[in-house]
Amino acid sequence: MGAGLRWVWTQITSMRTALLLLFLLALTAIPGSFIPQESVTPIRVSDFAKAHPLLNRIYQPLGFYHVYTSPWFSAVYLLLFLSLIGCILPRIGVYVRALRTPPPRMPSRLNRLPESASHPVTGSEDAVAAATEWLRRNRYRQVRRDAGEVPGISAERGYLREFGNLLFHISAIFVLVGVAITNLYGYKGTSQVVVGEGFSNTITQYDAFHAGPMVNVDRLNPFTLILKRFLVAFETGPVQTGAAREFDATVQVTADGSTTTRDLQVNHPLTIDGTKVHLLAHGYAVHVTIRDGQGNVAFSGPVVFQPVDTNFKSLGVIKVPDARPQRLAFQGFFLPTAVIDTQQGPHSVFPDALNPRVFLNVWSGPPAAASGVPENVFTLNTTGLTQVKKGNDLLRIELAPGQSYTLPNHLGSISFDGWSRWAGLQISRTPGLWLTVGSIGAAVLGLCLSLFMRPRRLWIRFLRQADGTMLAEAGGLDRADARTGLSDDVRGLVAAATGSDPEGIEVRSRGWADPVTPPRTLAEHQSSDAGVLDTTESADDAPAGAQEEAKK
Amino acid sequence: MNVLEVGGMSSAQFSSLAIVTAAVLFLLAFLAHTVEWASLRAVPVRAGGGAASVDDGHDGARLRSDMFARLGLFATLIAAAAQLAGVVFRGIAAQRAPWGNMYEFVTSAMLFAVLAYLVWALRGRMRWLGIFITALIAVGDGLAATVFYVSVGPLVPALHSVWFLIHILAALISGAALNVGGLASIGYLLRARAERKGTVDRGYVARLPRSEVIDTFAYRLHAFAFPVWTFTVAAGAIWAEYAWGRFWGWDPKETWALITWVIYAGYLHARATAGWRGRNAAIIALVGVGSFWFNFIGINLFVTGLHSYAGV
């Protein structure tokens, strides 16, 4: 049992598994970009299901309409994060120990390191002190490693590399934690607010609403806003005709007993008490006055229509349940710039309201008792209603602003008073956002450290020659791939220690003639230079570095 | 609208002409490099590369190759100047950063790529990349001028954000680096294959640096590009939070940006393990470039999503 679990854990935290999971994550994310997703475009999902019944039979049970919350996608990323945690936790311990460990002991033969140099000490100043000073200036950690009468220094730098690596992976976990907090404690809803009307932050005012399980939906933070003005402009020039050019809403916000007038634009959300209000959509509301058969005003006001194409042909339903003797309902569309031709029928050719028209069909029926069952305001349930005819044809009303139409059979009349815009507002609270954003920032920082920091070891010692002169001998080793400048460091150190001109110091490179080319891996370097380091260095030191590299 | 007139042309017309000119010049540079490489066919590397080598009857071919190499570099220099003019004048014509649609993005990304290449090439390294770079840019500019071209226009309100500039600039820089990294990976595969077959002493592969050098070069490019790409995706998420009220919504563009990111994360991890460097890493890098291009072209043109606001 214990051994089995250990085996599973070893498998999960192995680099090979992590790689496999990474590529699996990429692979499993693909279907969601081609198959419509319920969370993104629910209408396209139902359209797709209708159009492809066979594929639907496969996609539906496999969760292909909600790939990113499906069990298999979740399994991949949760396993990946498990693997990541299993990888990172032990490495934190290793890193802390490495921080406490002084730079390693002196190799017996410095001239077998990847880069090495030696030079007689010419200056009169103390060579050891000069080397110490150079290493300090170049931000090396150093320790004296005297061997008998031979003074020497071991130095190391680039500890931040592994710190960055750990920071990146830990931050990745906290990005997910932030997302989880937002999903648990956040909410998001939309409301279409007609110019001149208002919104108050209670659940009943939302058209669509989604809240995390920890949100008390009866106690959303209270505020109200009134849409005072909403300016929309479209491109009228020849390039990108009809493209949106400006959305600018002025809203009056009342929160905490004080009222302020604020500007709301795309890309510039309002923040009210930690709740964000985004301007996401726009459309047209049709103002109508409807009189019933008894001459009373049965309905008056704006009705929100839903845009269905880029030129804002908008569909809508006007329900008049209070009309007497017959209740009435209208269904049809609003065209902001109406053009009627024989091929396409009535359609809109521009998104702005340059030639607005409404086209409506009419239903009537006996009054029905209010059932109390909530009803979708955008669809018409025609049960108990019959469509009104004119002669043998179905009645179709076309109205320009200011025009009225008297319905046949003494049903009443409708007048199209005008139009106004509505703004699609999204009201949301994302309590984990700052954790997510902060973690992403930390992750990028960690990534830069882990990729650009140069962990490097240098050694220098001063040998007394037979003739009484001193010889400075130095060598260096890079502990990460693809680094440059090791020979410069070795040269600089020797020059500083011997008080001589760096130009005059020859650095020997072993095996890799081109200074850009590092050893293929530290491990290979170890094997090809067998016995160079392990006689003096703690046996597991440099190979451990190679394994660290190999692990993540 | 146009602030500047150049030689009787509006700055928009001048920009378009400059890009087309650049495309043609890059094509010429590519042809010059092709001749350079072809001249070296069956020409052995000079033993020792020393000055005292004997004439082995191939000096003519070597001279021709060198001449066409210089010609290619020269054409690339002029083409880069034309490219720079095209991008700058596009920005002047539109009176904004010229990164608002596919045409502008491609021409800017190609500019970044060629500038990076020229810095290396003029410092005497990585000139072998010339044939790959010029081919990439000739194709990129050609596509831009024919398929992606749109007239200068202002931006939709969703793009009015500082995050737009940050996000796109980061995408341009990382995109350029990832593409050059991909080209280097192709070079690596060619050279590594020749090394395995023991045919490195002649022909164009002799012009390529040793495979370890290319491998290291490609790794450095990717190591540079990866944090920038991470930042691109992060900046995009922050911008999405401002513009659309959510920082991540599995829009196809977002999904493929993440897929690309994951592939390159795999590249870096794969390279860190001894068994996966070299050939396997190069292949992953090429898959990554494929994903990048699919995200750019495929998603914009064939999949509807929030990023398809500008058409092309």
| B15-63 tens-digit pLDDT | 999 999 999 999 999 999 999 888 887 677 654 444 444 566 777 888 8
Q: Are A21 and A79 in contact (CB under 8 A)?
A: yes
Is residue A90 located within the same domain as residue A110? Answer: no
Q: Nearest CA of chain A to the CA of B27: how many Å?
A: 30
> Could you say which of A68, A94, A120 is where a domain stops?
A94
> What HEC string does B236-265 produce?
HHHHHHHHHCCCCCCCHHHHHHHHHHHHHH
Interface of A with B in 527-546 (CB under 8 A): 546
Asked if residue A216 belongs to a domain, the reply is: yes
Task: Quote the CA–CA distance of A26 and B266 in Å, as a whole number.
Answer: 10
Chain A residues in contact with B303 (beta carbon < 8 A): 33-34
State the pLDDT at residue A11.
Answer: 81
**Scanning every residue of chain B, which has its alpha carbon at the shortest distance from the alpha carbon of A189?**
B245
pLDDT tens string A93-136 = 999 999 999 998 898 888 888 899 999 887 555 888 999 999 99
Nearest-by-Cβ selection for A26 from B241, B249, B263: B263
Percentage of residues of chain A with pLDDT beyond 70: 91
Whether the predicted pLDDT of A521 surpasses 90: no
- DSSP letters of A60-121? HHHTGGGGGGSHHHHHHHHHHHHHHHHHHHHHHHHHHHHHHSPPPPPPS-GGGSSEEEEEE-
Percentage of residues of chain B with pLDDT beyond 70: 89
Q: Is the Cβ of B158 closer than 8 Å to some Cβ of chain A?
A: yes
Q: Nearest CA of chain A to the CA of B28: how many Å?
A: 32
Nearest-by-Cβ selection for A436 from B247, B252, B276: B247
Q: Nearest CA of chain B to the CA of A315: how many Å?
A: 22
> Could you say which of A51, A71, A94 is where a domain stops?
A94
State the pLDDT at residue B307.
Answer: 61
Per-residue confidence band for B160, with pLDDT thresholds at 50, 70 and 90:
confident
Most A-contacting residue of B174, B250, B312 (CB-CB within 10 A), to test interface: B250
Nearest-by-Cβ selection for B269 from A430, A440, A552: A552
Per-residue confidence band for A499, with pLDDT thresholds at 50, 70 and 90:
confident
Contact B274 A516 (CB under 8 A): no
- DSSP letters of B115-144? HHHHHHHHTTS-GGGHHHHHHHHHHHHHHI
Asked if residue A308 belongs to a domain, the reply is: yes
Asked if residue A297 belongs to a domain, the reply is: yes
**Scanning every residue of chain A, which has its alpha carbon at the shortest distance from the alpha carbon of B223?**
A451
Per-residue confidence band for B200, with pLDDT thresholds at 50, 70 and 90:
confident
Q: Nearest CA of chain B to the CA of A248: how many Å?
A: 10
- Record the tokens describing residue A280, joined without a space: 């996401």
Nearest-by-Cβ selection for B153 from A67, A240, A521: A240
Residue-wise over A73-99: b if at least 16 C-beta within 10 A, else e?
Answer: beebbebbeebbebbbeebeeebeebe
Domain count, chain A: 3
Is residue A119 located within the same domain as residue A250? Answer: no
Chain A residues in contact with B263 (beta carbon < 8 A): 23, 26
**Mean of per-residue pLDDT scores for chain A:** 86
Is residue A191 located within the same domain as residue A321? Answer: yes
Per-residue confidence band for A330, with pLDDT thresholds at 50, 70 and 90:
very high
Whether the predicted pLDDT of A160 surpasses 80: yes
Is residue A354 located within the same domain as residue A318? Answer: yes
Whether the predicted pLDDT of A517 surpasses 90: no
Is residue A216 located within the same domain as residue A73? Answer: no
Torsion angle of the four alpha carbons B11, B16, B18, B24, in this order, in degrees rounded to the nearest 10: -170
Chain B residues in contact with A517 (beta carbon < 8 A): 210, 212-213, 216
Q: Are A415 and A318 in contact (CB under 8 A)?
A: no
State the pLDDT at residue A529.
Answer: 34
| Single pTM value for the model | 0.86
Asked if residue A170 belongs to a domain, the reply is: no
Is residue A343 located within the same domain as residue A223? Answer: yes
More confident residue, B296 or A538: B296
Asked if residue A202 belongs to a domain, the reply is: yes
pLDDT tens string A23-54 = 999 999 999 888 988 887 788 888 899 999 99
- Record the tokens describing residue A48, joined without a space: 């797709």
Chain B residues in contact with A244 (beta carbon < 8 A): 156-158
pLDDT tens string A269-320 = 999 988 999 999 999 999 999 999 888 999 999 999 999 988 999 999 999 9
State the pLDDT at residue A482.
Answer: 56
Most confident of A455-459, A528-532, B201-205: A455-459
Contact B227 A514 (CB under 8 A): no
Chain A residues in contact with B165 (beta carbon < 8 A): none
Contact B250 A39 (CB under 8 A): yes
Using alpha carbons, select from A24, A28, A33, A102 the residue that is nearest to residue A62.
A28
Q: Nearest CA of chain B to the CA of A37: how many Å?
A: 9
**Mean of per-residue pLDDT scores for chain B:** 86
Is residue A475 located within the same domain as residue A512? Answer: yes
Q: Nearest CA of chain A to the CA of B262: how many Å?
A: 6
Please name the residue that has the structure tokens 């994903």.
B291
Contact A280 B244 (CB under 8 A): yes
Asked if residue A536 belongs to a domain, the reply is: yes
Interface of B with A in 27-86 (CB under 8 A): none
**Scanning every residue of chain A, which has its alpha carbon at the shortest distance from the alpha carbon of B265?**
A22
Whether the predicted pLDDT of A534 surpasses 50: no
Is residue A232 located within the same domain as residue A317? Answer: yes
Most A-contacting residue of B10, B123, B246, B289 (CB-CB within 10 A), to test interface: B246
Contact A22 B237 (CB under 8 A): no
Chain B residues in contact with A551 (beta carbon < 8 A): 272
The strand pair at A404-407 and A357-365 is best described as unpaired
From residue A550, give the alpha-carbon distance in Å to each of A86, A97, A210, A480, A486.
15, 19, 44, 11, 22
Whether the predicted pLDDT of A376 surpasses 70: yes
Is residue A421 located within the same domain as residue A473? Answer: no
Whether the predicted pLDDT of A539 surpasses 50: no
Asked if residue A180 belongs to a domain, the reply is: no
Asked if residue A169 belongs to a domain, the reply is: no
Contact B259 A26 (CB under 8 A): yes
Chain A residues in contact with B157 (beta carbon < 8 A): 244-247, 265-267
Chain B residues in contact with A281 (beta carbon < 8 A): none
- The H helix count followed by the E strand count for chain B is 9, 2
Task: Quote the CA–CA distance of B305 and B244 in Å, as a whole number.
Answer: 13
Interface of A with B in 137-166 (CB under 8 A): none
pLDDT tens string B83-101 = 999 999 999 998 888 888 8
Is residue A143 located within the same domain as residue A206? Answer: no
Q: Nearest CA of chain B to the CA of A63: how many Å?
A: 15
Q: Are A451 and A122 in contact (CB under 8 A)?
A: no
Most A-contacting residue of B273, B292, B301, B303 (CB-CB within 10 A), to test interface: B273
Q: Look at A56-60, A172-176, B139-143, B244-248 and tell me which has the smallest mean pLDDT.
A: B244-248
Per-residue confidence band for A344, with pLDDT thresholds at 50, 70 and 90:
confident
Nearest-by-Cβ selection for A29 from B223, B255, B269: B255
Most confident of A522-526, B219-223, B298-302: B219-223
A-B CB pairs within 8 A amount to 155
Please name the residue that has the structure tokens 């007239």.
B151
Most B-contacting residue of A266, A445, A450 (CB-CB within 10 A), to test interface: A266
pLDDT tens string B214-228 = 888 899 899 999 999
Using alpha carbons, select from B123, B128, B122 the residue that is nearest to residue B218.
B128
Interface of A with B in 467-526 (CB under 8 A): 481-482, 514, 516-518, 520-521, 523-524
State the pLDDT at residue A525.
Answer: 35
Whether the predicted pLDDT of A228 surpasses 70: yes
Contact A267 B230 (CB under 8 A): no
Is residue A112 located within the same domain as residue A26? Answer: no
pLDDT tens string A418-458 = 999 999 999 999 999 999 999 999 999 999 999 888 889 99
Chain B residues in contact with A39 (beta carbon < 8 A): 249-250
Q: Is the Cβ of A81 closer than 8 Å to some Cβ of chain B?
A: no
State the pLDDT at residue B158.
Answer: 78
Looking up residue A533, the CATH number of its domain turns out to be 3.30.160.110
Q: Nearest CA of chain B to the CA of A294: how many Å?
A: 48
State the pLDDT at residue A401.
Answer: 96
Whether the predicted pLDDT of A70 surpasses 60: yes
Whether the predicted pLDDT of B311 surpasses 70: no
Q: Are B235 and A438 in contact (CB under 8 A)?
A: no
Interface of A with B in 245-274 (CB under 8 A): 245-247, 265-269
Is residue A147 located within the same domain as residue A196? Answer: no
Chain B residues in contact with A188 (beta carbon < 8 A): 245-246
Domain that holds residue A494: 105-157+454-551
> Could you say which of A72, A94, A116 is where a domain stops?
A94
Percentage of residues of chain A with pLDDT beyond 90: 57
Whether the predicted pLDDT of A5 surpasses 70: yes
